[in-house]
């Protein structure tokens, strides 16, 4: 049975063979605990972890000591948001974020709200970008953190991180960004962008699942984060737990490969996206969700009028693996909160498809996907007209 064409790279990506090759020795040959400092097995893995920190730090213009390994971006977001809220509790209990954030940011914020914090959820404009004027107006004397994601996981929109960072720095408020979808795909520089905390993950850029990191600024200013996991004092006391060396090595290799190929891959993915959109835009009543150009190169999110969302997804399944929203909330029956924030009706939000074009997709696959999508929509509309 032929498998469908995989176009769900915002949910996860296959592990690159180069990443697998780098990881394998650390499962069986170099299996020591990096914290075992009295013998060669620990020294080997400690050196591998140190090298990985250097790779990740260089990727975002940080220092290795500022990289805290976690189990993924969800844990990193929780550590950043709840950790800062706890550490700066005496300074203030107000946090600013955005209505289109990933649930791994929204849910910790709502948890803090239940504990007495005040959360401002900024709206977005029709193209998915925040209004910087509204951001400036949202600051209060007790604001301790602003959290705005780098690239949206559903519509791929790239928020203006440098401008946001500048505004936060001028007000001495910490700036956190969820860069799970952005790392290795766009340029990230914690210094020029004035970013104080950054969440990252490996499995969105052809690395293994179960490994992520949080960048925590050490100077100008030195950021305090209260640990959310206790027991051993690993990672400068911010995240206890034995370090998982194979995944850490794989994470670093995935970042290394992504950065080496970033320029050419960005151009290639943008070209494939344009081919797909050119085909899909022939349909009447189709909407491109998010800013047309200020978005991830491999992202295309569309809503289609005149079709049932569930029927559309079912009709596409034999040919392509796509999603109607975020994978983390795919079991939810509610419409995408991101698309609703853009001003869509529930019906239109349900009839939406997210394409995540990736490293291993070809022009031939994209053309096949475009043709099948158009024919499926036309068929569903014809059926609807006969009812």
- Please say whether the dihedral angle defined by the alpha carbons of residues 237, 242, 247 and 252, taken in this order, is positive or negative: positive
17-256: CATH number: 3.40.640.10
Predicted TM-score of the model (pTM) = 0.95
Determine whether domain 5-12+262-386 maps to CATH 3.10.20.90: no
What are the tens digits of pLDDT across the range 35-80?
998 999 999 999 999 999 999 999 999 999 999 999 999 999 999 9
* 387: pLDDT strictly greater than 80: no
Q: What is the mean pLDDT of the chain?
A: 95
Cα separations in angstroms, 35 against 39, 40, 65: 10, 11, 16
What are the tens digits of pLDDT across the range 130-186?
999 999 999 999 999 999 999 999 999 999 999 999 999 999 999 999 999 999 999
Contact 139, 149 (CB under 8 A): no
Q: Classify residue 374 as exposed, middle or buried by CB count within 10 Å of its CB (0-12, 13-18, 19+).
A: middle
* 328: pLDDT strictly greater than 80: no
What is the rounded distance in angstroms from the CA atom of residue 205 to the CA atom of residue 14? 8
Catalytic positions, written as ranges: 328
What are the tens digits of pLDDT across the range 273-323?
999 999 999 999 999 999 999 999 999 999 999 999 999 999 999 999 999
| Three-class DSSP category at 366 | helix
Which residue ranges make up each domain of the chain? 5-12+262-386, 17-256
């Amino acid at each position: 049975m032929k498998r469908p064409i995989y176009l769900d790279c915002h949910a996860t990506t296959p592990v690159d063979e180069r990443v697998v090759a780098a990881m394998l020795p650390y499962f069986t040959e170099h299996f020591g605990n990096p914290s075992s400092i009295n013998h060669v097995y620990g020294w080997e893995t400690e050196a591998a972890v140190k090298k990985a920190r250097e790779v990740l730090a260089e990727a975002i213009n940080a220092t290795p000591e500022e990289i805290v390994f976690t189990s993924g971006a969800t844990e990193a977001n929780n550590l950043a948001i709840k950790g800062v809220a706890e550490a700066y509790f005496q300074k203030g209990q107000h946090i600013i974020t955005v209505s289109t954030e990933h649930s791994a940011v929204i849910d910790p914020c709502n948890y803090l709200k239940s504990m007495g914090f005040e959360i401002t959820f900024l709206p977005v404009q029709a193209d998915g970008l925040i209004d910087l004027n509204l951001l400036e107006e949202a600051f209060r004397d007790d604001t301790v953190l602003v959290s705005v994601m780098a690239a949206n996981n559903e519509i791929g929109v790239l928020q203006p991180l440098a401008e946001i960072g500048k505004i936060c720095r001028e007000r001495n408020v910490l700036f956190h960004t969820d860069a799970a979808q952005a790392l290795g795909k766009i340029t990230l520089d914690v210094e020029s962008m004035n970013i104080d905390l950054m969440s990252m993950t490996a499995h969105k850029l052809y690395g293994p699942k179960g490994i992520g990191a949080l960048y925590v600024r050490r100077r100008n200013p030195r950021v305090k984060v209260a640990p959310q996991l206790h027991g051993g004092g690993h990672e400068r006391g911010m995240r206890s737990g034995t370090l998982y060396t194979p995944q850490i090595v794989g994470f670093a290799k995935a970042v290394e490969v992504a950065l080496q190929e970033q320029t050419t891959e960005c151009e290639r993915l943008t070209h494939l996206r344009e081919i797909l959109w050119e085909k899909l835009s022939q349909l009447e009543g189709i909407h491109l969700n998010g800013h047309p150009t200020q978005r991830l190169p491999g992202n295309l999110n569309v809503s289609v009028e005149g079709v049932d969302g569930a029927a559309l997804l079912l009709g596409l399944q034999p040919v392509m693996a796509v999603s109607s929203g975020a994978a983390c909330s795919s079991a939810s029956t509610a419409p995408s909160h991101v698309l609703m924030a853009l001003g869509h009706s529930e019906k239109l939000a349900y009839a939406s498809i997210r394409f995540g074009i990736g490293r291993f997709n070809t022009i031939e696959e994209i053309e096949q996907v475009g043709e099948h999508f158009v024919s499926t929509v036309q068929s569903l509309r014809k059926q609807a007209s006969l009812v």
